[in-house]
A and B are shown apart, each in its own frame.
Chain A
């Protein structure tokens, strides 16, 4: 088995990689060999897609992560699973990242998040729907819920004390901004106005959001 397992095609926008077989280790070995033959050319390339008859999603994801992190490939693929994988990977690294928030990066989620579902993002999160108890939101930036927030929301991960959490109905199981964790007082009642939570002098303050202000 030589390099015939792998063929790399370059087009104007980036490169396609063709893969034969479904053995990750063999593919990895062949691919790395091929890339290393021409490392300067490949480093930082745009990857459009990886294709192969026997290729599974798992292997594809693994290869993409390998290319992204080891060889600085830029991924163009829109595959949802992969993006989620990468985000998961990045969210693990959130705490190690420098204290910068790109205000512009926002993830929109349409629909209700149910118990056990988790959205992590390296920027802001906007949920157009409800967040049920048992669901978790983790954002480096702000969290906005256009609905009822009953789950756990963690904004400002990694040192952003300016982050806010806002919801039409703010009834979280637990609220975290940066490293401050609060839970609602026992027997907290339903408040029917939108509310915003933010840190003021190292305390999480929740106040109603009044639209006419």
Chain B
């Protein structure tokens, strides 16, 4: 392929588990591919792989990241082309190994190799701050922090931002996932300002709590492709911000829209 590209590697991380790292990785990767970029999404969660399932590519796996670093196969052989997007590839994690199977230096080498051929490398990091996290961030140029509006998730995000800075990855960008505007309005949920106050990082986007995400995850089709879903729109906006466009935040408008469509649903059954 076009050798000599200078791609960007972005790690998606959170500290806390279950906040939506994998979903975010799948959606950002797919979204970037929809914009015409060549993308590799790399599942770094060895032993607990999920990204293949979320992207609906599980049954195509033959080789995985451990095979690549152990040189059992060529890098190209392990890359799985997405079902829907020509320019989107998945590098799956191994399931029968554990985090000790890959080292930081191997990861750096791997990501640098990928950067020569692809525009974006999205690295889906495992939860925690142990070895798996360490090698996930080793090859990353930039970081996206995913959090949910809960004190525990924000606390872990804060810790991770500190570790990233210590590893010379500065100015990570924040995605606040699964926000419920109705609860925020009642004062029952942390709002965006509260979270930004604590974390003091740049906001990349806000993704509403949306059942479409669950539906699409179970179907193996990232919600970013769903034209109707609000969460899909949120992810499309995030992608546009990543590639450098200025996109306004949906925020309050979002609530009205959400409310409106809910009413529509009630009235007309959608």
- CB pair A136–B59 under 8 Å, yes or no, is no
Residues of B within 8 A of A181 (CB): 62
| Closest residue on chain A to residue B98 by CB atoms | A116
Residues of A within 8 A of B59 (CB): 173-174, 183-184
A183–B59 alpha-carbon span in the complex (Å): 6
- CB pair A134–B95 under 8 Å, yes or no, is yes
Q: Does A36 contact B (CB under 8 A)?
A: no
Q: Does A194 contact B (CB under 8 A)?
A: no
State how many angstroms separate the Cβ of A157 from the closest Cβ of chain B: 13
| Closest residue on chain B to residue A152 by CB atoms | B61
Q: Does B128 contact A (CB under 8 A)?
A: no
| Closest residue on chain B to residue A92 by CB atoms | B72
Residues of B within 8 A of A184 (CB): 59
Q: Does A118 contact B (CB under 8 A)?
A: yes
| Closest residue on chain A to residue B72 by CB atoms | A92
A115–B61 alpha-carbon span in the complex (Å): 14
Residues of A within 8 A of B47 (CB): 116
Give the interface size bracket for B toward A.
Answer: 10 to 19
Q: Does B210 contact A (CB under 8 A)?
A: no
State how many angstroms separate the Cβ of A201 from the closest Cβ of chain B: 22
Q: Does A129 contact B (CB under 8 A)?
A: no
- CB pair B96–A116 under 8 Å, yes or no, is yes
- CB pair A118–B96 under 8 Å, yes or no, is yes
Q: Does B262 contact A (CB under 8 A)?
A: no
Q: Which of B48, B49, B59 has the most CB of A within 10 A?
A: B59
Residues of B within 8 A of A174 (CB): 59-62
- Taking CB atoms and an 8 Å cut-off, the chain B residues in 69-106 that contact chain A are 95-96
Known: A116-B96, A174-B59, A184-B59. 20 other contacts (CB 8 A): A115-B95, A116-B47, A116-B48, A116-B95, A117-B96, A118-B96, A133-B58, A134-B49, A134-B95, A136-B95, A136-B96, A173-B58, A173-B59, A173-B61, A174-B60, A174-B61, A174-B62, A181-B62, A183-B59, A183-B60
Residues of A within 8 A of B95 (CB): 115-116, 134, 136
State how many angstroms separate the Cβ of B152 from the closest Cβ of chain A: 26
Q: Please, could you name 13 A-B residue pairs with CB atoms under 8 Å apart, sorted by A?
A: A115-B95, A116-B47, A117-B96, A134-B49, A134-B95, A136-B95, A173-B58, A173-B59, A174-B59, A174-B62, A181-B62, A183-B59, A184-B59
- Taking CB atoms and an 8 Å cut-off, the chain A residues in 110-125 that contact chain B are 115-118
Q: Which of A115, A116, A117, A136 has the most CB of B within 10 A?
A: A116
A181–B95 alpha-carbon span in the complex (Å): 18
| Closest residue on chain B to residue A181 by CB atoms | B62
Residues of B within 8 A of A136 (CB): 95-96
| Closest residue on chain A to residue B49 by CB atoms | A134
- Taking CB atoms and an 8 Å cut-off, the chain A residues in 74-132 that contact chain B are 115-118
